[in-house]
């Protein structure tokens, strides 16, 4: 089966997480991604973090999934000529350098669109291509701070906290893939030909953190971090630990589900208390609700809590560790953790699940320059010329392949 995006050709000049994740997401559904790395200066994700038994970084294995790798110094004149040939036959180019890097190398958007007027260009940077912070260096944690996420995470009397995964970079990858698909749809409809998708790393989180802004500007309410409870505490819930040491997250998103939750932890007396008749009234007494839930959960085992909550159709979910994620029956049933033949390393499979054209993991991250020869041959270079380019250091091959 061919993927729904098998007609799509993407040139990736990105590195680390944000840009490469956007292309990885599209590669799961058939897009041909050519990742370009300069010889002797490959993506740092190849070496960052723990290594698998074969010595390859496990983070690279998933970020480099389904991608071809080309070793090419595109900042040199002849390398830029090769990039030109690649761009002519591409649909999308993705880069996440600091603003100005492409322009200084002579391959800014104007040049790229001269080469290919229909090219979609995704530009990911810390603070965007324009504005007073354009040239300020940034990493994911700076973006998490700017978006407000860190400010709302942690305990009220403690410091702001970052989440346990690269939230800014990861959400930027998602938003970047969305931006590419929107631009492609506009091109297909004839609304626009090639266009630039300008995405700052803090903006994806800012969009997902939307509610604090209308809360402040529309209701004069400023959310504050609130430990194990919701920053705005508008509905009952939080994080609680059972008597046998299992962490549960408890939540209710409506008056009806809140009543079921209160009945599970405190019986009819608590559920029918007039202070909790509506979520608006309940929000004024949320400390009482939180304490009631905490008292019940901490005095019962996880099996007892789950049984009582199930009886009242209330929600209490176990907080899974990574080990538990890999053995969870629901995750396993949906096929969300996958690998390829000959690989011990498993990764999260393509999401979302499409009924007729599902995604596919074809291979994990490949060595630097693994596809240099085949890509250059497709561009019309013969083996003699490829050998000469390798000798000059302009291009590189997989170290296990040698010269063609």
Question: What is the dihedral sign for C-alpha 133, 136, 137, 139?
Answer: negative
Asked if 229 and 240 count as a contact pair (C-beta separation under 8 A), the reply is no
Asked if 62 and 347 count as a contact pair (C-beta separation under 8 A), the reply is yes
- Residue 112, judged by CB atoms within 10 A of its CB (0-12, 13-18, 19+), counts as buried
Active site residue 378: no
Rounded Cα distance between 92 and 35, Å, is: 12
Which residue among 169, 268, 295, 371 is the active-site one? Answer: 169
Distance (Å) of CA 356 to CA 332, 348, 353, 359: 20, 20, 9, 10
| Residue of 205, 197, 145 whose CA lies nearest to 176 | 197
> What stretches of 174-302 adopt beta strand conformation (E)?
196-200, 237-241, 247-251
> What stretches of 190-314 adopt beta strand conformation (E)?
196-200, 237-241, 247-251
Catalytic site residues? 169
């Amino acid at each position: 089966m061919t993927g729904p995006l098998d007609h799509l050709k993407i040139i990736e000049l990105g590195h680390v997480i944000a840009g490469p994740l956007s292309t990885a997401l599209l590669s799961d559904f058939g897009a041909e991604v050519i990742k370009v790395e300069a010889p002797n200066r490959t993506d740092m994700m190849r070496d960052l973090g723990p290594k698998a038994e074969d010595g390859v970084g496990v983070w690279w294995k998933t970020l480099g999934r389904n991608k071809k790798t080309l070793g090419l110094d595109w900042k040199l004149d002849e390398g830029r000529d090769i990039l030109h040939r690649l761009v002519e036959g591409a649909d999308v180019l993705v880069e996440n350098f600091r603003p100005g890097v492409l322009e200084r190398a002579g391959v800014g958007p104007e040049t790229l669109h001269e080469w290919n007027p229909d090219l979609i260009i995704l530009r990911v940077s810390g603070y965007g291509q324009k504005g007073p912070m354009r040239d300020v260096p940034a990493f994911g944690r700076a973006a998490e701070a700017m978006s407000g996420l860190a400010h709302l995470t942690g305990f009220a009397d403690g410091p702001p906290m970052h989440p346990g995964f690269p939230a800014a970079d990861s959400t930027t990858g998602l938003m970047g893939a969305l931006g590419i698909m929107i631009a492609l749809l506009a091109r297909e409809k004839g609304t626009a030909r090639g266009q630039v998708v300008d995405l700052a790393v803090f903006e994806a989180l800012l969009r997902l953190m939307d509610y604090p802004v209308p809360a402040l500007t529309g209701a004069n309410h400023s959310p504050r971090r609130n430990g194990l409870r919701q920053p705005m505490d508008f509905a009952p819930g939080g994080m609680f630990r059972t008597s046998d040491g299992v962490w549960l997250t408890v939540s209710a998103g409506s008056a009806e589900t809140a009543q079921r939750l209160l009945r599970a932890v405190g019986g009819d007396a608590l559920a029918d208390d007039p202070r909790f008749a509506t979520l608006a009234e309940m929000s004024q007494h949320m400390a009482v609700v939180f304490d009631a839930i905490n008292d019940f959960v901490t005095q019962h085992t996880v099996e007892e809590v789950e049984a009582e909550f199930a009886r009242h159709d209330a929600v209490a979910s176990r907080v899974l560790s990574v080990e538990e994620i890999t053995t969870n029956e629901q995750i396993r049933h949906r096929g969300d953790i996958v690998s390829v033949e000959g690989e011990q390393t498993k990764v999260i499979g393509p999401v979302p699940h499409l009924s007729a054209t599902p995604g596919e993991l074809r291979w994990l991250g490949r060595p630097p320059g693994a596809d240099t020869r085949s890509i250059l041959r497709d561009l019309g270079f013969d083996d003699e010329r490829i050998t000469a380019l390798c000798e000059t250091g302009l291009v590189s091959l997989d170290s296990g392949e040698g010269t063609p």
